[in-house]
Structure 1
Amino acid sequence: MSSERGRAMMDQVYGEGFSKSLPAETTPMLEKTVEHLFGEIWSRPGLSVRDRRLLVLGATAALGRADLIRIQVQGALAGGDLTAEQLREAVLHLQYYVGWGNGTQVHNGVEAALHAHDEKEHK
């Protein structure tokens, strides 16, 4: 049950069909990610997906991981959680809290995702 709910939530967070891209062979880490993180934590009613995404963006910004920021932004755009304007505003805001180096990585991840999204929309 948690696996089905987790996969459904992954699709809501990262875009329709995302869960189908998961490997057929599972590992304990992947099982817990699907069943617990998405099936139980992301599925809780206390915060919206958008709220949770903003928290993840903030935490990921502190790590300076453009690759992970890009994944979250792609999900935000696919789900309509945030607009390009809101994402760019978030970059500016985070820049001051996570440091210029990490903020630059946030900017890089956001802009890469926006560019990919625009290209996909225009095909």
Structure 2
Amino acid sequence: MDELRRKGLEKMNEVYGWEMPNIEGDPYFDLTVDHLFGTIWTRPGLSMRDKRIMTLTAVTAVGNSELAEIQANAALANGELTEDELKEMAIFLTHYLGFPLGSKLDGAVSKVIKQRRKAAAEGKGEDRKANVNAAVRMHSGGTVHPDNDK
């Protein structure tokens, strides 16, 4: 594994809060890991919290609830944002993006909070396999990594 791939996977793991598999030969995944996470997310100048808020805003603006759930979950897992801050983001963004998109973010945040509270009450961690598979599908053109599809 070259240095850019290693750096990209490390940052991707930090951003998502779990271990992503290294998928060789998938051009979308290669571009995501090497460029987005290896080059863009590692640039100085913005904190991880800043980048998380910007990402949540962007995915809300395009109506991507699945990525909003992944990002909200990671923000909570990494301590970058609180439940209350995520809920406030939804309220705030509703007034700039409109009710349908703002309510989709609120629904995604509420779902994540409910899942995390349920998992905590049951003494379980978050559903890693579901989170990893959703992220892999998003970054690889829909392919689920074979190790995570069991």
Q: What is the TM-score of this pair, normalised by structure 2?
A: 0.76
**Correspondence 1:5 to 2:44:** no
Matched pairs, number: 120
* Aligned pairs (5 A) from 1:53-68: 53-68=52-67
Report the AA paired with residue 9 of structure 1: K
Structure 1 counterpart of 2:42: 43
Structure 2 counterpart of 1:14: 16
List gaps (5 residues or longer) in structure 1: none
- Write the distance in 2 (CA, Å) between the matches of 1:115 and 1:68: 17
State the shift of 1:25 in Å: 4.3
Report the AA paired with residue 97 of structure 1: Y
- Write the distance in 2 (CA, Å) between the matches of 1:119 and 1:91: 22
Kept after mapping to 2: 8 A contact 1:70/1:110: yes
- Write the distance in 2 (CA, Å) between the matches of 1:26 and 1:99: 40
Report the AA paired with residue 51 of structure 1: D
User: Which structure shows the bigger proportion of residues in helix conformation?
Assistant: 1
List gaps (5 residues or longer) in structure 2: 124-150
* Aligned pairs (5 A) from 1:1-123: 1-17=3-19, 19-20=20-21, 24-122=23-121, 123=123
The runs of at least 4 consecutive aligned structure 1 residues that moved more than 3 Å come to none
- Write the distance in 2 (CA, Å) between the matches of 1:16 and 1:70: 14
- Write the distance in 2 (CA, Å) between the matches of 1:113 and 1:38: 23
Structure 1 counterpart of 2:143: none
Q: What is the TM-score of this pair, normalised by structure 1?
A: 0.91
Kept after mapping to 1: 8 A contact 2:73/2:112: yes
Higher relative contact order (CA 8 A, sep 6+): 1
- Write the distance in 1 (CA, Å) between the matches of 2:13 and 2:107: 24
SS of the residue corresponding to residue 82 of structure 1 reads coil
